[in-house]
């Protein structure tokens, strides 16, 4: 009787492992199919340049684009700290705390996996530059910083964005740097359109 039960349990474990293996293979195939689509198709907003790299547990991002709006109008939007979700789908809620730190509630989805995370930044502000340093004890990231730089370019705005982050949560291997790059580029294009629209409507 015990041997039959042990055999049944072993059989169920083997079946479960096979199903898990098949599931991850399907996910990997889906991810590679998406990457192939990204590599062979044009994406709206080709003036957005995004580079994402990964080394030593740090994701580094460099982004540059030009907006058809004046720098002062873009700067006002980027420093409207309670309304950052108006031009970013990643930011669910933003709030400037009494101590001057910026608290962000983020939601990022890859395929059907979503991450709800918090990021708290110590801000350094100048006329055309915004720098944020992640405060690990109040964030879901162990390290990180970001910087926005705005430059006047023929009555338009050249934006450069640089960042480094180290998440303190597990990211499934099939997501990878290329999928993160695709997500960032897609969201950047959306934000560009929204920033331009909001800036021009408020002038």
Phi, psi of 45 (to 5 degrees): 80, 50
The residue-averaged pLDDT of 107-117 equals 85
**DSSP E strand stretches across the chain:** 49-55, 58-67, 91-96, 102-110, 113-125, 129-134, 141-153, 156-167
Pick left, alpha or beta for residue 111 (phi over 0 → left; psi -120 to 50 → alpha; otherwise beta).
left
pLDDT tens column, 5-38: 555 544 454 545 544 443 344 333 333 333 333 3
| Among 191, 132, 120, residue whose Cα is nearest residue 159 | 191
Measure the CA–CA gap between 119 and 163, rounded to whole angstroms: 13
CA–CA separation, 18 vs 28, rounded Å?
Answer: 15
What is the reported pLDDT for 50? Answer: 82
Q: Which pLDDT score is estimated for 12?
A: 54
What per-residue confidence (pLDDT) applies to 4? 55
Summarised one tens digit per residue, pLDDT across range 174-197 is 777 778 778 877 888 888 889 989
d(CA 149, CA 170): 31
pLDDT in tens, 125-149: 998 999 999 999 999 999 999 999 9
Predicted confidence band of residue 199 (pLDDT cuts 50, 70, 90): very high
Instruction: Please report the pLDDT score of residue 77 as a whole number.
Output: 94
Model pLDDT, residue 1: 56
Q: Which residues of 172-200 are buried (b: 16+ CB within 10 A; e: fewer)?
A: eebebeebbbbbbbbbbbbbbeebbebbe
The pLDDT of residue 160 is 94
């Amino acid at each position: 009787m015990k041997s039959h039960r042990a055999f049944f349990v072993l059989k169920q474990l083997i079946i479960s492992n096979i199903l898990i293996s098949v599931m991850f293979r399907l996910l990997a195939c889906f991810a590679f199919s998406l990457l192939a689509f990204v590599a062979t198709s044009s994406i709206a907003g080709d003036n957005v340049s995004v580079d994402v790299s990964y080394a030593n547990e740090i994701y580094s991002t460099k982004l540059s684009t030009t907006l058809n709006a004046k720098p002062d109008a873009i700067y006002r939007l980027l420093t409207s700290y309670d309304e950052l979700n108006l031009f970013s789908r990643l930011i669910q809620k933003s709030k400037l705390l009494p101590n001057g730190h910026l608290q962000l509630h983020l939601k990022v989805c890859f395929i059907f996996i979503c991450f709800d995370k918090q990021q708290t930044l110590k801000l350094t502000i100048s006329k055309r530059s915004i720098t944020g340093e992640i405060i690990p004890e109040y964030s879901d990231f162990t390290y990180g910083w970001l910087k926005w730089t705005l430059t006047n370019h023929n009555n338009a705005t050249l934006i450069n964005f640089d960042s480094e982050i180290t998440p303190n949560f597990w990211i499934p291997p099939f997501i990878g740097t290329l999928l993160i790059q695709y997500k960032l580029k897609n969201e950047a294009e959306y934000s560009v359109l929204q920033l331009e629209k909001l800036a021009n409507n408020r002038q």
